[in-house]
Structure 1
Amino acid sequence: MAFENAAFTATLAAAAGDDPALLSELRGAFRESLAYQVDLLKRARCDGNWLVAAQRIKGLAASFHADELITLAQQAVEAAPGDPVALRGLDGFLADFDSVPTD
């Protein structure tokens, strides 16, 4: 599954304008925040911590219009802590996101 999200790309482009350095910084901040929340999700051992991390991922996705990530985060919200399907989906999204060239 290759990362392709026109709404996400358009949101970043609108925020960064013609500044490639800002675009790179926004993309990096998104990736860093997502990776941090996925890590918290992986370490969650109770429903409350799992739910908070999943909802933060969903909020991050919504703020950047990353539709595929919104769906994955919603699946995590509805899953039990440690759900391997939810975690694989989020890990896959991160891997696909990392594989997209930034230029």
Structure 2
Amino acid sequence: MVYEASALDSTLAAAAGDDPALLAELRMAFCDSLARQIDLLRRSRCDGNWHVAAMRVKGLAASFQVWPLMVLADEVLASAPGDPVILRKLQAYLDNLSDN
């Protein structure tokens, strides 16, 4: 499954301007933050922890106007803690971002 990263790239480019080092740093920070939340989701064993991590993913996506990730965050919120399907989707999204 491939996800488009152009919304994130546009938002980061607007923030970084003509500074490629800053752009790379912001992108890495976004990916690191998303990776932490995916890890928390993987370790969640109750509805409360799952919901908090899912809302953090949604907040991260909203902050950077990454609509495909917001849709995934809504799927996380609608799923049960530990749902392997949604965790694979999130990981695929992150892997795609990291590869670009």
The TM-score, its normalising length taken from structure 2, stands at 0.94
Asked if 2 retains the 8 angstrom alpha-carbon contact of 1:5 and 1:67, the reply is no
Residue of structure 2 in register with 1:70 after alignment: 70
Alignment of 1:95 onto 2:98? no
Tell me the matched-pair count.
100
The one-letter amino acid paired with 1:61 is A
- Structure 1: any 5+ residue segments left out of the alignment? none
Is 1:21 matched with 2:21? yes
Counterpart in 1 of 2:35? 35
TM-score (norm 1): 0.92
- The answer to whether the 8 A contact 1:16-1:23 is kept is yes
Displaced runs of 4 or more, over 3 A:
none
Q: Any gaps of 5 or more consecutive residues in structure 2?
A: none
User: What is the distance in 2 between the residues matched to 1:37 and 1:24?
Assistant: 20
Percent identity over the alignment? 59
CA distance in 2, matches of 1:92, 1:5: 12
Supply the distance in 1 between the matched residues of 2:62 and 2:93 (Cα, whole angstroms): 15
Looking at structure 2, the residues matched to 56 and 15 of structure 1 have their Cα atoms a distance apart, in angstroms, of: 21
Q: Distance in 1 between matches of 2:13 and 2:45?
A: 37
Alpha-carbon distance in 2 for matches of 1:2, 1:89: 9
User: In structure 2, how many angstroms separate the alpha carbons of the residues matched to 1:91 and 1:4?
Assistant: 14
Q: RMSD over aligned Cα, in angstroms?
A: 1.0
| Whole-Å separation in 2 of the counterparts to 1:94 and 1:8 | 12
